[in-house]
């Protein structure tokens, strides 16, 4: 069995300051993160995005299957606070 990741980098088109994300529409990362949580595996998820993808000032409601990110890193720095990594 392959080892499970401690850090998951997630491509992100849009994001909120709460850690919600808009991905590429296939649900791959949401399913992967949900599967890790279902196994009670502890990991840190970091979205990688351009700063222009900040949706915080807009009305955005994540879907029920969307998994919130722990942090978001953009070309301008941390948009959702940097996680404490052990």
Q: Is the pLDDT of residue 67 over 80?
A: yes
Distances (CA, A) of 9 to 12, 43, 46, 60: 9, 11, 5, 22
Give the residue extent of every domain in the chain.
1-19+27-67
Can you give the pLDDT at residue 25?
82
Tokens of 5: 């990741």
Q: Which helix (H) or strand (E) holds 28?
A: helix 28-38
Can you give the pLDDT at residue 86?
59
Supply the pTM of this predicted model: 0.88
């Amino acid at each position: 069995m392959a080892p499970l990741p401690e850090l998951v980098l997630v491509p992100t088109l849009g994001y909120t300051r709460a850690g919600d994300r808009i991905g590429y529409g296939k649900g791959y990362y949401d399913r992967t993160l949900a599967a890790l949580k279902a196994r009670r595996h502890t990991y840190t998820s970091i979205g990688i995005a351009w700063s222009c993808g900040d949706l915080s000032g807009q009305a955005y409601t994540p879907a029920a299957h969307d998994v919130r990110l722990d942090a978001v890193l953009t070309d301008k720095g941390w948009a959702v606070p940097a996680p404490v990594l052990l």
